[in-house]
Structure 1
Amino acid sequence: MTALSTLIALCPPPTVVPPAPDWSQVEGALSTGLPQDYKELITTYGPGQFCGFITLYQPHAPSDWADLNGPIPVRLRGQIEEVRQAARHPWQLPHSPDNLFAMGVTGNGDYLFWVTQTADTPDEWTVAVNEALRAPWFTYDGPLTEFLVNVLNGTTSVPMFPKDLLDHGPAFTPSTLESSTQSAAARTSVNTRTIRDWASANGHNLPERRRIPPEIIEAWKQENPS
């Protein structure tokens, strides 16, 4: 049984999905091949969220916030070292920024990356997860679909993911790219640590490993409109 068939049994995809992109065109624009499991995953599921939390970037998405071919993956790669050097006590990076290719985001501002040390063999790329480009980092030594299977069946626990991620069981919620990426953008356009610190200072009970409720984000935005 393949990882994709296991994922489908665990977390059924929608019955109707948008047409698959022209993968040769996508890879040509990126000047790199992409993992076969990712291409099959996007073709099978289309846009949406796993457990209402994990959004994968899609080729040629209408929003820059989740466009695999857009500016965000390149921008994030450039910001990783900037954020590290700006810290009072810079942390050790587990991977060179040159070997990180952003391909997903969560509702709490965690970024999902491919680790592309073997650039010419994308099927060997592994997965790294990071909170807002800061420490800590979590690395999964396997491909993306396998990572999703193990996260959604509870085998793999990602330290920065919320403890209640699977409280309602694994699920995939299809959405338009506009709605899913606008939600991700609203949550990740600012460091989530800033929101958590603000919430704590203003009397909001926000456990570390829980999702940041939308109303907390909106309250923060009201007080910090810039």
Structure 2
Amino acid sequence: MTDLTTLTALCPPPASVRSAPDWSQAENTLGTGLPEDYKQLVATYGPGQFCGFLTLYQPHAPSEWADLAGPMPERLRAQIEEVRQAARRPWPLPHPPENLLAMGVTGNSDYLFWATQPFDVPDEWTIAVNEALRAPWFTYNGTVTEFLVDVLSANVRVPMFPSDLLDGGITFTPAELRSTATATASRTSVSTHVIREWARAKGFDLPERGRIPVEIMQAWEQANPR
């Protein structure tokens, strides 16, 4: 049984998806090939969100905030070291910033990266996750499909992911079916720390960690339109 077969049994994909991206164009834009498991994953699921929380970047996604071939991956790569050096005591990175390629985001602004080593062997790339470009970092020695299988089956616990991630069931919601409120989390490039500080200033009762409630995300979006 392949990892994708295991994933689709665990989390059924949509009955139909839009046509696969132009991989040659995307790879030319990025200047690198992409893992075959990721291409199969995109062809099977299309754009959308796992468990209402985790969005994988894809070439030509409906939003530029989730476009693998858009500005976000390079923008985040440039910001990694800026955020680190701005700290009073810079934390160690699991990989050099130039080897990190952003490929996903969560509703709490946890970013998923490929560790692109060896650069010319994308099928050997592994996964790194962090919280809003800050420490801590979590590393996973496997493909993104293997990562999804292990996270969604609760075999792997990512420390910065909410403990109730799977409480609502293991689901995939296509991008076109997601509500505006849910879509907010994947399109925002603002740190959740900023949203939390804004919410507390407005009198919302919000814990330091965990999933930001939809009503608070809605209120923040209304108060800070793009």
| Alignment TM-score, normalising by the size of structure 1 | 0.91
Secondary structure in 2 aligned to 1:26? helix
Report if aligned partners of 2:106, 2:186 keep a CA contact under 8 Å in 1.
no
Tell me the equivalent position of 2:184.
Answer: 183
Report if aligned partners of 2:50, 2:173 keep a CA contact under 8 Å in 1.
yes
* Aligned structure 1 segments of 4 or more residues deviating by more than 4 angstroms: 177-182, 200-203, 220-226
| Alpha-carbon offset, residue 176 of structure 1 | 2.7
- Counterparts of 2:109 and 2:77, CA distance in 1: 15
Tell me the equivalent position of 1:41.
Answer: 41
- Kindly tell me: are residues 33 and 216 of structure 1, through their superposed partners in 2, closer, same or farther at Cα, counting changes over 3 Å? same
Tell me the equivalent position of 2:156.
Answer: 156
Tell me the equivalent position of 2:66.
Answer: 66
* Deviations 1:174-197, CA, capped at 9 Å, x for gaps: 1239978952355x3322122224
Secondary structure in 2 aligned to 1:40? helix
Tell me the equivalent position of 2:53.
Answer: 53
- Kindly tell me: are residues 8 and 53 of structure 1, through their superposed partners in 2, closer, same or farther at Cα, counting changes over 3 Å? same
Gaps of 5+ in 2: none
- Counterparts of 2:25 and 2:177, CA distance in 1: 20
Which sits farther off after the overlay, 59-68 or 104-113? Answer: 59-68
Which sits farther off after the overlay, 86-95 or 204-213? Answer: 204-213
| Alpha-carbon offset, residue 209 of structure 1 | 3.9
Secondary structure in 1 aligned to 2:88? coil
Gaps of 5+ in 1: none
For residues 199-210 of structure 1, the aligned pairs below 5 Å read: 199-200=199-200, 203-210=203-210
CA RMSD of aligned residues (A): 2.3
May I ask how many residue pairs the two structures share in their alignment?
225
- Kindly tell me: are residues 115 and 223 of structure 1, through their superposed partners in 2, closer, same or farther at Cα, counting changes over 3 Å? same
| Alpha-carbon offset, residue 208 of structure 1 | 3.8
| Alpha-carbon offset, residue 88 of structure 1 | 2.0
Q: Percent identity?
A: 70
- Counterparts of 1:87 and 1:118, CA distance in 2: 30
Secondary structure in 2 aligned to 1:119? coil
- Kindly tell me: are residues 13 and 201 of structure 1, through their superposed partners in 2, closer, same or farther at Cα, counting changes over 3 Å? same
For residues 1-226 of structure 1, the aligned pairs below 5 Å read: 1-176=1-176, 182-185=183-186, 188-200=188-200, 203-220=203-220
Which sits farther off after the overlay, 84-93 or 33-42? Answer: 84-93
Secondary structure in 1 aligned to 2:42? helix
- Kindly tell me: are residues 221 and 26 of structure 1, through their superposed partners in 2, closer, same or farther at Cα, counting changes over 3 Å? closer
Question: Which amino acid in 1 is paired with 2:41?
Answer: L
| Alignment TM-score, normalising by the size of structure 2 | 0.91
| Alpha-carbon offset, residue 210 of structure 1 | 2.2
- Counterparts of 1:112 and 1:182, CA distance in 2: 17
